[in-house]
Amino acid sequence: MSRLKELNGLGVVPGDTLCVIEEFLPGNWTYDYDNVVRATVVGRVVTDLRFRVINVKPTVKTPQLPSKGEVVYAVVTLLYDDVAITKVSASESGRKYPNPFTGLLHISQVQEGYIKNFYEVLAVGDVIKAKVLNNNTPYILTIKEPKLGVVLAYCNVCGSLMKKHLTDTLKCSVCGNLEKRKLSINYSNVRF
């Protein structure tokens, strides 16, 4: 019982030994390495006697990360024939990510049907609304749903903001240039 009193509330840093696996199972913010439970974050130890689980409650604010199924806003930074590299900067719920995360959008995750290359549906600098398909970096994105796709785009000729012209066509109000994109049904209705 005195060992429990020593553990509860104990301040720890990543890698600190908490106990052996026979005493407690690893819980939140802990991991098991060679049958020894260790801390993964700076925090305080909290034990759950009922389930024999040891947790660490972080004392330092942990970064907010996008999660699987979350809808996010990202800026297209690089385009290749079959993949787009993006920077995820905010979520649809209004959460901002001060240090943007890398997102990958494969051409198969744009729409049903054949697309020759990304230049038919996206351009560098476009802001897209996308859904996250995994829980770790790099985040894999999809824009297949009607509410997903380009929500803000700039003219490749003069750099002006493009306005929706037809279903998947944008028109520049300054120079009249027409460009195709995979548009979200919420094009130009951005809240981030």
pLDDT, one tens digit per residue, over 90-122 is: 999 888 888 888 999 999 999 888 888 888 899
Give this prediction's pTM: 0.68
Distance from chain centroid for Cα 174: 34
pLDDT over threshold 60, residue 192: no
Q: Can you give the pLDDT at residue 190?
A: 67
Of 137, 135, 86, nearest to 110 by C-alpha is 86
Q: What does pLDDT average to over the chain?
A: 89
Domain boundary among 58, 86, 101: 58
Residues 41 and 83 in one domain: no
Residues 112 and 41 in one domain: no
Query: Tell me: the pLDDT tens digits for 41-100?
Result: 899 999 998 999 999 999 877 667 888 999 999 999 999 989 999 999 999 988 888 888
Q: Can you give the pLDDT at residue 98?
A: 81
What is the mean pLDDT of the segment spanning 21-49? 92
Let me know if residue 63 belongs to a domain.
no
What is the mean pLDDT of the segment spanning 1-21? 82
26 pLDDT band, cuts 50/70/90, is: very high
Residues 78 and 53 in one domain: no
Cβ atoms of 128 and 153 closer than 8 Å: no
Return the SS3 of 24: coil
Let me know if residue 128 belongs to a domain.
yes
Range of the domain at 54: 2-58
Q: Can you give the pLDDT at residue 135?
A: 85
Distance between CA 181 and CA 184 in Å, rounded?
9
Residues 12 and 96 in one domain: no
